[in-house]
Amino acid sequence: MNTYNSAHEIDYRILGEEMQCVEIELDPNETAVAESGAFMMMDDGIQMQTIFGDGNNQNTGLLGKLFTAGKRVLTGESLFMTAFTNIGSGKKKVYFAAPYAGKVIPLDLIRLGGKVICQKDAFLCAAKGVSIGVEFQRKLGTGLFGGEGFIMQKLEGDGLAFVHAGGHIVEREMQAGDLLKVDTGCLVAFTATVSYDIQFIGGIKNTIFGGEGLFFATLRGPGKVWIQTLPVSRLASRILQYGTVTRKEEGSILGGLGNMLDGDGW
């Protein structure tokens, strides 16, 4: 670890296609931090420790730690995170897995301006020294109508962080003045230079027949944006719909044929 970076300099590999995991290689005394439930496996010689918040505030005293950790509750996360430290003499590996089908996105914060804003449930793990905090959207429209909530997460520092998203990931490098309109659930992350707001979709036809909601996120460059093709909320609603609602065609001849073609009738 050199003297420039304050975060631990971890090495990594992303493994898999649809169900990815990240392999982090730790030198002696290096540490990675992760959300509860992200852990997959690790080599012998790595020590696990439960910590308040992200481990980036160890010298702020008990009240400071409690305040920092408590802000994470606003994003739906636990008060605690888990730190994985290599206490052995050689290189050790620890693995973290995404909670649903999709992609793991590596974010080199020092190359991204030191700050990335992401959905409140997107963070997976990071090098110790990266700050995982809360980003409040100040605009009233965002607070009332943002499909993914008023509060987002912010990742700050000069180390590596990893977020996960559903389906395929589309990266867009926006120039100054570029405007991108995105479904609120499909927005994964963006750099701090991108302006974020919520826009109303006008027109009675859009409201009644659009099927895509009444509002979408507007992103204005410059900066980088990460978009997911399958938000977990959309996937969950489809599963719930098929699991709880009787299909209209069931019981009919055509319905039975349709189910067979879908693979449900055998």
Q: Does 180 map to a domain?
A: yes
Highest mean pLDDT, choosing among 83-87, 242-246, 250-254: 83-87
pLDDT tens-digit series, residues 94-151: 999 988 889 999 999 999 999 999 988 899 999 999 988 888 765 545 444 444 445 7
Rounded CA gap, 171 and 242, in Å? Answer: 31
Q: How far apart are the first and last CA of the chain?
A: 59
Structural domain includes residue 258: no
Quote the mean pLDDT of the chain.
78
pLDDT more than 70, % of the chain: 67
Residue 91: pLDDT over 90: yes
In this structure, is residue 237 part of a structural domain?
A: no
CATH number for 72: 3.60.160.10
Please check whether residue 257 lies inside any domain of the structure: no
> Three-class SS of residue 131?
strand
Which positions ≥6 away from 17 have C-beta within 8 Å? none
Contact 130, 159 (CB under 8 A): yes
Residue 245 lies in a domain: no
Q: What is the DSSP string of 168-225?
A: -EEEEEEPTT-EEEE-GGGEEEEETTSEEEEEE--SHHHHHH--S-SEEEEEESSEEE
**What does the pLDDT look like over 13-22, one tens digit per residue?**
999 988 899 9
CA nearest neighbour of 123 among 139, 134, 113:
134
**Residue 169 phi, psi dihedral angles, 5° rounding:** -110, 130
Q: Domain count for the chain, please give it.
A: 1
Nearest-Å Rg of the Cα atoms of the chain is 21
Identify the band that residue 9 occupies on the pLDDT scale cut at 50, 70 and 90.
confident
More confident residue, 201 or 16: 16
Which residue range(s) make up the domain with 37?
A: 11-230
- Asked if residue 242 belongs to a domain, the reply is no
Q: Does residue 60 lie in a domain region?
A: yes
129: which residues sit within 8 A by CB, 6+ positions away? 5, 6, 7, 8, 56, 157, 158, 159
pTM: 0.78
| 108 lies in some domain | yes
C-beta separation of 198 from 184 below 8 A: yes
d(CA 104, CA 139): 30
Q: Are strands 131-136 and 151-156 parallel, antiparallel or unpaired?
A: antiparallel
Q: How many CA atoms lie within 13 A of 80 on its CB side?
A: 8
